[in-house]
Amino acid sequence: MRRAAAPNQLNPNRKGRLTLEEKARLAIDRENEEMAPPEGDRWTNWPDAGHGPEPLPEWVITEQGACDYELGVLKTGKEADVFLLRRVSPETGAEVTMAAKRYRSNEHRTFQRDAGYLEGRRLRRTRDMRAIEGRTSFGMNLIAQQWAIAEFGALAELWQAGVPVPYPVQLYGTELLMEFIGEPDGTAAPRLAQLRPEPDELLDLWEQLISALLALAERGQTHGDLSPYNILVHHGRLVLIDLPQVVDVVVNPNGREFLSRDVHNVSKWFAAHGLAERHADPETLVAMLANEARLS
């Protein structure tokens, strides 16, 4: 088990009191150091976490004696970093590789997009809302929790509805464990932006995307930040990722704008890679999705 960092090592360039998140992390590190597993970096936190929708996929490991191994960073971002994590059950020998999305501590977090996305999902507690609007340390930690909870909830609902998204395994604090889309050796599936598909494959991916967007629109939703960089393609199957900001296009006053932006972002990529305009006309698709979502 890795030794917990001293308080002044958490961020040597910042002075002052520890944040609530840092205090909690130190407490967890001390507890883990005293109760370290015989192998791996930590015990599974499955028993204390929120769980994904049932029925659980067969590959989800629920044994309390399982251990987690950190395998490195998959992606860094402004609001969160994504790590590769392997969970192993010494009891059964089962193991699974997952993606661990961890929302960053408040001294690094920007959350530039909060204002528009949080419309329609305001917190009722006035004190919490004031803290968020004032960007206090407490408020920034609340925002991290809100994003984690929002993405976990969105993934759970969309997965149950048949939308192509990763299965959300568990939520523990601001860490979201989800299905890893990639190869058993830890190689992540490529993003749409990395591909140069042949014409037939391009059309198939476009039709898969339309189907996914229609499934969202049927629920009155759009991705909210869709681009070729948050769409994965695994063995020809299209998967949407990065969904903490999924937008209710009916409740959100900017809903149609988010919907239109999502469509134009992806339509531009498909058109640039050779898809005929009759297939990738953005205005036609926006109108179809708006009608499906029953937008006036």
Which residues are annotated as catalytic? Answer: 225, 242
Distance, in Å, from the CA atom of 111 to the CA atom of 139, rounded to the nearest integer, reads 12
C-beta separation of 142 from 239 below 8 A: no
CA distance 134 to 114: 12
Closest CA to 151 of 77, 88, 67: 77
> Rounded distance, CA 273 to CA 279, Å?
12
What are the distances in angstroms from CA 186 to CA 1, 232, 285? Answer: 22, 15, 36
Q: How deeply is 62 buried, as exposed, middle or buried, from its count of CB atoms within 10 A (0-12, 13-18, 19+)?
A: middle
Rounding to the nearest 10 degrees, give the CA dihedral for residues 268, 271, 277, 283.
-10
